[in-house]
Amino acid sequence: MATILQINELSKSYGAQVILDNADLAISDKQKIGVIGRNGAGKSTLFKIIVGDEDYDSGEVCIHDGTRIGYLTQHSEYEDHESVMDFLMRSSGKQNWECGKVAGGFQIKNEMLDEKVVSLAGGYQMRVKLIAMLLKEPNLLLLDEPTNYLDLSTQILLENFLKNYKGSFLLISHDREFIKRTCSETMEIDQGKTTLFPRPIEEYLEYKEEQLLMIEKQNVKVERKKKHLQKFVDRFGAKASKASQAQSKMKQIGRLKTIEVLHPLSTTRINIPKIEEKKGIALELEDLEIGYGDNSVAQKINLDIERGQKIAVLGDNGQGKTTLLKTIAGEIEKLSGAYKWGHNINIAYYAQHIPATLNIDETVKTYLKRVSPSDVSEQEIFEMAGNFLFKNEALKKRIPVLSGGEKARLCLAKILLQKNHVILLDEPTNHLDFETVEALALALKESAVTVIFVSHNRTFVEIVASGIVEVKNGEVKRYNHNYEEYVYHLQKNIEEDLGICDEPKTNIEKEEQKELRKKIKERKKQMRTLENDIEKLGEEKTSLLKWFEDNFSKFSEDKTTRLAEVEKEITKKEEEWMELEALNEEG
């Protein structure tokens, strides 16, 4: 395979901070590489050096003849007045039919091509940037966190594209699932060094675990030998007859070195201070309407969220997910209807704009100690700060000098320390490396905290969510299946729209599918009937129980008999409903 990019002994520092230390890398045709590493390790810096946006201290960057680099940046390249088609034609120099063909692969077609780019939702603006980059026909893509702020539909489109892409790419992502689905090789940047492993990320992390175990075993052997030699020196070092031997043993001890273990990826663990577990409703929405001024985004929202549930709010960008969170957080006024929080509930809200407002002139350490409850120990505060990469000197940093990402991590650390009963999170993972994302997800899953969150990070949602609320076309409803099924059905819809189909079905298969759809439809009809029956029986049961409560000194044989019948009938119909649901899931 031909080499398209070569990096030799590349070094880059910011003052005393070493970012890249004699790093080497060679990229050939058709390599699909996931780039991982802790925040600040140098991943984005490496990309900027390759495209010439950043200087380096020493080394060599060789871009070979015929290499066309496509670099996906976060900043906007389009003018405020430009339509999608105008921008694509201007930036690529291609004809409108060529632009339209590539745009269609990202579900941008027909009248959407005439819309102004700035009027599109964030996910669609990112699609336009991707299309513009691809129209230049690069054979090496540099993708720096392309899934940030992307809705799931756009992620699936990008995933399908990358799977079928004929060139090479380097992909930085904090979403392990996205890397797993798109990359066949893994590169880690750690302590200034680059390690390219020619296998997928799961195999690389397994390899690292094995290496770590080997290192630990070696270190144990070295320490044991040093201890044995030291005993000899301590016992015989003072004797003249043994002095030369003791000196020899001292030199041996000096030569025995343990291997330093540098921040293994799998050790991150976040412990959230415990709160009291309670049952009941955390949040109740009744005919709620959300939006801004005269602009209604969604209406007639009726939901109950129980304490301890972890609810993922899903849907395409621009549908109203953030608007819903802002409304129940009290950041914006509801348009109509009502929402009600449970009794004595402390609520914390994290959103992308909140870190920017954090400008208190105190150190990270002082701030976290001040905002934490009195029963949270200093050790817990330091551990939480460390989980979000505030250790040693970083604890002494004053808040006004922190970067946007550092402020975001500080806000998350504060929220987790505060013993809130409910946490509202709007895209909490955008400034976290993926091991911290997964540690946060596991901590939230295991806690008694009620979590309502918006996230497009598939790994995070998969771990945390116990329920799904979908925001779509002016409606907010429970999705009655798990996240895996949600992704599957969304992917199938996108594939159908793009004409990506399995092999054509035979007439027999078509008839079988038709019959299956008919059966499912009939079962759903039966389930709706059962739901109505269960609701009516439930009302009758409530009425009977109310009579017994109001007339506790009386006895009614008829009402006692009827209550037993009602309870038996409810149990029977619930079992029938569950049987039908199971049949529908099986197909």
Both 117 and 141 in one domain: the answer is yes
For residue 117, give the DSSP letter: G
Final residue before a domain boundary, out of 203, 224, 259: 203
Closest residue by Cα to residue 86 from 73, 100, 72, 70: 100
Both 333 and 423 in one domain: the answer is yes
Question: Chain centroid to CA 139: how far?
Answer: 28
Question: What are the mean pLDDT values of the chain's consecutive 10-residue runs (587 residues total)?
Answer: 89 88 91 88 91 93 92 79 93 91 87 90 82 91 85 87 91 89 92 87 81 70 73 65 63 57 52 87 95 91 94 90 94 94 92 81 92 90 89 88 85 92 92 84 93 92 93 91 87 79 58 78 85 89 86 83 89 84 69
- pLDDT for the residue numbered 260: 46
Alpha carbon distance 198, 181 (integer Å): 15
The DSSP string of 390-420 is --GGGGG-BGGGS-HHHHHHHHHHHHHHTT-
Final residue before a domain boundary, out of 434, 463, 494: 494
Both 439 and 568 in one domain: the answer is no
Closest residue by Cα to residue 32 from 143, 113, 122: 143
- pLDDT for the residue numbered 324: 95
How many separate domains does the chain show?
3
Both 78 and 144 in one domain: the answer is yes
- On whether residue 386 sits in a domain, the answer given is yes
Alpha carbon distance 573, 409 (integer Å): 49
Which residues make Cβ contacts (< 8 Å) with residue 63, sequence separation at least 6?
4, 5, 50, 69
Global pTM value: 0.71
- pLDDT for the residue numbered 261: 38
- pLDDT for the residue numbered 500: 64
- pLDDT for the residue numbered 252: 65
- pLDDT for the residue numbered 262: 43
CATH of the domain at 191: 3.40.50.300
Helix (H) or strand (E) holding 225: helix 201-236
The sign of the dihedral angle between the CA atoms of 199, 200, 203, 207 is: positive
- pLDDT for the residue numbered 265: 44
- pLDDT for the residue numbered 39: 78
Helices (H) and strands (E) counted in the chain, each on its own, are 17, 18
Both 9 and 119 in one domain: the answer is yes
Expressed as residue numbers, the domain containing 567 is 507-586
Under 8 Å between Cβ of 458 and 485: no
Q: Which residue has the tokens 């990019």?
A: 5
Both 488 and 512 in one domain: the answer is no
Both 115 and 72 in one domain: the answer is yes
Final residue before a domain boundary, out of 156, 176, 203: 203
